[in-house]
Amino acid sequence: MADSEQRFELLAKQFAVLERNLSASPNAEQRAELLKGMNTIIVIEELDQLISANQSWLDSKLVGTVPSNDLYI
């Protein structure tokens, strides 16, 4: 299974738990906190995606700029 698929499944499971808790909570304040938790998960997932994409891009750029050992012989 691809890494992105695993991360998506984990995110889906987190939302399922939050959804159950949200549905079961009679307290409006507690529901608001659960919704904030959902937003936090979304932001963290987006940041993780951006970091992963930028890391891959940076890694690909560094591969082309690493000096060859042949130059030092």
pLDDT tens by residue, 14-71: 878 878 887 888 888 888 888 888 888 888 888 888 888 777 766 676 666 655 555 5
Give 3-state DSSP helix, strand, coil % of the chain, rounded to 5. 90, 0, 10
Q: What is the pTM of this model?
A: 0.47
Query: Could you tell me if residue 67 is left (phi over 0), alpha (psi between -120 and 50 degrees) or otherwise beta?
Result: beta
